[in-house]
Structure 1
Amino acid sequence: MSAEEPEHVGPEGAEVEDVESRYVPPPEKTLEEILAADQEDESLRKYKEALLGASTAGAVVVEPNDPRRVLVKQLALVVADRDDVVLNLTGDISQLKKKTFVIKEGVSYRIRIDFIVQREIVHGLKYVQKTSRLGVPVDRMTHMVGSYPPKEEMQSYTTPAEDAPSGMMARGSYSVHSLFTDDDKNEHLKWEWSFEIKKDWKD
């Protein structure tokens, strides 16, 4: 799994969009195609089997009634020495924007996304987050999550640590548009939520 520092986009945001638009993902391959390639190379074959684990035995289907390959389960706000604050992403996600995370100004935090991959390998997962305040965009970040094989177990990605803004002018409510997508521009889940910057956790 690979991860990159978030891209904070200001007035030069168009340059980032241009770079992304020029990127051409590699051709998507099924598990069978990946396993069939390089069969004569014993060490490479064993490596792929170890990497894919149970996937070598056939398609892994965790929720057969759900045709999606990526099932995003929850988003958590992770702060050292505090319990994770969790947003459940399996229910009515239209209600999520009514629930607000409280973040203490200046604190270092991470965002963790828990998900299940089923059926086939997913290439180039990407987490995109756009933040606005009073309808005005204030931040955008893109995290390259990586490529994942199907597994019965939950998998997760945690963003690099970031410091919440601080100061009286930074305090207040923010709205967030989140998107979990991939190299093929499949939208695995798109949701809205909000957080509030406060002087302290209980203010």
Structure 2
Amino acid sequence: MAVPHDDELAATQTEGYKIGQSKTVAELAALDQEDESLQRWKASLGLTGRTGGGQKRIVPKTIFLTSPTRSQDIIIDLTQSPDALAKLKKEPVTIKEGVEYSVGITFVVENEIVSGLRFLQVVKRAGVTVDKTEAMLGSVCASSGFASEESPTGMLARSGSYAVRTRIIDDDGNKWLDDFEWSFKLGKEW
């Protein structure tokens, strides 16, 4: 039986896990004011108590593929126009067969801490799911995340393209990148 479209990118739930009480950046910065080393550590994380005001927000910037077998990363700029992003579904990125590569995402966190941020990705070929990745990015002020993969090999793997759907979601169920679709194909070379 096929998995419904919406459930494929649903984040897994850990039994017994309870979301903690949400605190603002200002509240966290105000804790333990007398501990100088803790205050320096908080400042290194961006917990200075100064916020831009407003609601917490994640702004996705790029999805990138990096590999030790490639001199430069392949970068998909998520800040492009909707028309340019739509082309990525029809114009696949080429990945060399049989190599190890990592898929990563860069983003900016605005105003407040986002807890339980996750990167989810489903890869399909001819409508059949061939891979699902879920990477916990954690509770962040600003960051990027990675998920390591290995590309398949062989003539059958190289024929056709793979459809990819990517999502970033947090513990509160906010979808910060919702079902971004792109594609890739496998080749003998990058």
TM-score tier by shorter-chain length is 0.7 to 0.9
The structure with the largest strand share of the pair is: 2
Gaps of 5+ in 1: 1-13
CA contact (8 A) 1:68 1:188 kept: no
1:156 to 144, 155, 162: 144
Deviations 1:8-47 (A, max 9, x none): xxxxxx9x97644753322221011212223354443443
Measured on the aligned residues, the alpha-carbon RMSD in Å equals 2.6
Percent sequence identity over aligned pairs: 39
CA distance in 2, matches of 1:128, 1:197: 21
Structure 2 residue matching 1:28: 3-state secondary structure = coil
CA distance in 2, matches of 1:136, 1:119: 39
Residue 133 (1) aligns with residue 125 (2): yes
Identify the residue that residue 31 of structure 1 maps to in structure 2: 25
CA contact (8 A) 2:61 2:79 kept: yes
Gaps of 5+ in 2: 1-7
Residue 175 (1) aligns with residue 166 (2): no
Aligned residues: 176
CA distance in 2, matches of 1:132, 1:32: 43
CA contact (8 A) 1:73 1:89 kept: yes
Identify the residue that residue 77 of structure 1 maps to in structure 2: 65
Question: Structure 1 104/46 Cα, relative in aligned 2: closer, same or farther at 3 Å?
Answer: closer
Structure 1 residue matching 2:155: 3-state secondary structure = coil
CA contact (8 A) 2:30 2:49 kept: no
CA contact (8 A) 2:56 2:114 kept: no
Q: TM-score, normalised by structure 2?
A: 0.79
